[in-house]
Amino acid sequence: MKKLKFKGLKFLFFVVALFILVSIFDFENIAKIMDKTGNMLFKILPIFALVITLTALINYFLKPKKIMKYFGKDSGTKGIFYTLLGGIISHGPMYAWYPMLDDMRKHGLKFGLIATFMYARAVKIPLLPFMVGLFGLPFTVIVNVYILIFAIFQGKLIDLLIKEKEK
Amino acid sequence: MEKSNQQPTIATAFKKAIMGFLTLSPMILAVIGLVALFQTYITPDMLSKFFGHGEGLDILDGTIIGAISSGNGAISYVVADGLKQQGVSDYALIAFIMAWTTLSLTHLPAEASVFGTRFTAYRNILTFLCTLIIAYLSATTLRLFL
């Protein structure tokens, strides 16, 4: 069995060190912070399960060749469309989706499409009625249309920048 | 060892997905801890004090404050609504909401460790600039229509 190579251990040690410092200098807040951490973890557990399932299904149904076809360098408009759709319907915090994106990247997912996915996530379907209620329909439509336009624009620019550097 | 051109079984696919997830688990835990720390020390009341210095500066303030804040997108709407009641401009509100949902200082180390420093730097700089532009364009378009 392949040995696990953990990523972000230094970052985790840094955060643990911050928690230790807070518990020394601001003991009153540490229980609140620990409670928040636990709550957040508990809330995103279903999203982790969804991400693991999606990653497994992508691994199972989409061979690297197909991933390249849909999301690789020649994926074109279809790739952008699927990525925007994926970004819009994906739930939970961005970091919960890193494992899936990392896995797809190893199979040929373009950096530009990762950027498009990340930006399109600013359009949050479940929150749209809430946004309309607070700020009105014109505000919601205008902001979200611009987000999608700029998600595509940003993806194209990232691809150009990374390609330029690789030359 | 499984050859790349072979169809993996569903069990292998799940095993691979779980392994991939476990590999990134220290980083995910660290981000959650850091977000909890930020949410405790940076409160919505503190944020509201930074606005009201003119449209241009408000867009910049909104973007920076949105980027250092963290939490569910719905919270950004509630905070933005509170700011709106206090007379903060649409320019600042849009910048704040956009930055809250697309930029996050607490996620930077994790993003860099997964996707590399170059991609993370490019993406975050572009996101920062796009937030400024979208805030300006959206608020200006809104003015044209209302």
Number of A/B CB contacts below 8 angstroms equals 212
Q: What does the pLDDT read at residue B44?
A: 67
Q: What is the pLDDT of residue A130?
A: 78
> Would A29 be classed as within a structural domain?
no
| Nearest beta carbon to residue A37 from set B12, B32, B97 | B32
Q: What is the pLDDT of residue A145?
A: 95
- What pLDDT score was predicted for residue B2? 43
Residue A90 lies in a domain: yes
Contacts of B125 (CB under 8 A, 6+ apart): none
Q: Which helix (H) or strand (E) holds B82?
A: helix B73-85
Q: Hey, what amino acid is at A65?
A: K
Residues of B in contact with A19 (CB under 8 A): 33, 37
- The pLDDT value given to residue A153: 95
* A160 found inside a domain: yes
Give me chain A's average pLDDT, please. Answer: 85
Identify the pLDDT of residue B54: 77
Q: Is A42 on the interface with B (CB under 8 A)?
A: no
Residue A65 lies in a domain: yes
Chain B contact for A23 (CB, 8 A cutoff): no
Helix (H, G, I), strand (E, B) or coil at A4: coil
d(CA B29, CA B85): 36
Q: What is the average per-residue pLDDT within B6-16?
A: 80
Q: Is A121 helix (H, G, I), strand (E, B) or coil?
A: coil
pLDDT band at B4 (very low <50, low <70, confident <90, very high): very low
Identify which of A9, A134, A143 has the shortest CB distance to residue B81.
A134
Tell me if A97 is assigned to some domain. yes
pLDDT, tens digit (0-9, with 9 covering 90-100), for A108-162? 888 999 999 999 988 888 778 878 888 899 999 999 999 999 999 999 999 999 8
Segment among A26-30, B41-45, B88-92, B141-145 with least mean pLDDT: B41-45
Full domain range(s) for residue A128: 35-166
Distance, first Cα to last Cα, chain B = 63
* Residue A103 pLDDT: 85
- How close B59 gets to chain A, by Cα (Å)? 14
Residue with tokens 């194209």: A156
Chain B touched by A4 (CB under 8 Å): yes
pLDDT in tens, A55-73: 788 778 776 667 666 777 6
Local confidence band at A41 (pLDDT 50, 70, 90 cut-offs):
confident
Structural domain includes residue A14 = no
State the smallest CA–CA distance between residue A101 and chain B in angstroms: 9
Q: What percent of chain B has pLDDT over 70?
A: 92
- Residue A10 domain-assigned? no
Number of domain units in chain A: 1
